[in-house]
Amino acid sequence: MSAVAWPLPAVLAHRCGGALAPENTLAGLSVAAALGCRGVEFDVMLSADGVPVVIHDETVDRTTDGRGCVSALSLAELRRLDAGAWRGPAFAGERLPTLVETLERCASLGLAVNLEIKPATGHDVDTGRVVVETLLQGFADALTGLVLSSFSESSLAAARAVCPDFQYGLLFGELPEDWGTRAGALQVDAIHADTRYLSAATVAQLRDAGYRVAAYTENDPVLATRLGRWGVDSVITDRPDVVLDSVIMTA
């Protein structure tokens, strides 16, 4: 196991506020902090004009009142969309935030960050590079903790090329047979895996290989606690309101 301290807390609210707020919004960060969360996870991709924005899907259709691909819409066009009304009238008017706005809010709320680099198709390298260049504008130093993760190995490689000093995590669903080769080639610090495919033996294997482990997305407090006992470092959840009080982490 690396001697470098793991910078994230035991529980992370998924997509800013989990299921308790419109995902990937500043409102979600406020909800997470009010619950006592010390860390959040969120997704970042680029607008048509190259600005990193916080959103999960490649299109805006599901989480806003607009239509179209994020990578085909300018920041000005994205900012006109309502990203909160779908979650209820209390969140109407919530806007799709930029990465800069999100980092500033996380810093002010004392929230550690698992930033998932989520490139639109064909934008892997640019997204990894721009995200890290943004963090290096003083934002990383303002956070209580930071890990960058991605399913995209090209994004992680591009990010590490700009700044190898950050901690990085390679995301998997079910672990492939060559996970060790791929993680080693990228020199990542952590493996982020789907909780449905984890076992005590798998977590032990990952940790014995020297990797930190984050598990997504676990909403059952009993199962989340079990993940902690297996040695998982951080559990990402949609239900921080029920998981926070019950998780017992051993890492």
Q: What is the pLDDT of residues 28-45, one digit of tens each?
A: 999 999 999 999 999 999
* pLDDT at residue 248 tops 60: no
Rg (CA), the chain: 17
pLDDT-derived band of residue 250, with 50, 70 and 90 as boundaries?
Answer: very low
Of the chain, the percentage scoring pLDDT greater than 90 comes to 96
pLDDT of 251 reads: 35
Could you tell me the maximum CA-CA distance found in the chain, to the nearest angstrom? 48
CA nearest 134: which of 50, 69, 192, 190? 50
Locate 60 and state its tokens: 């805006």
Confidence of residue 109 (pLDDT cuts 50, 70, 90): very high
pTM over 0.75: yes
Answer yes or no: is pLDDT of 3 > 90. no
Question: And the tokens for 101?
Answer: 């706005």
Q: What is the mean pLDDT of the chain?
A: 96
**14 has catalytic annotation:** yes
192 is an active site residue:
no
* Three-point CA angle 56, 92, 20, nearest 5°: 55
User: Tokens 């924005």 label which residue?
Assistant: 53
30, 48, 51, 56: which one is catalytic? Answer: 56
The predicted-structure confidence for 198-211, as pLDDT tens digits, reads as follows: 999 999 999 999 99
Catalytic residue, from 14, 15, 38, 105: name it: 14
Q: Which helix (H) or strand (E) holds 125?
A: helix 124-134
Q: Can you tell me the distance from the alpha carbon of 117 to that of 167, in angstroms, rounded to the nearest whole number?
A: 13
pLDDT, tens only, 170-205: 999 999 999 999 999 999 999 999 999 999 999 999
Q: What is the pLDDT of residue 4?
A: 78
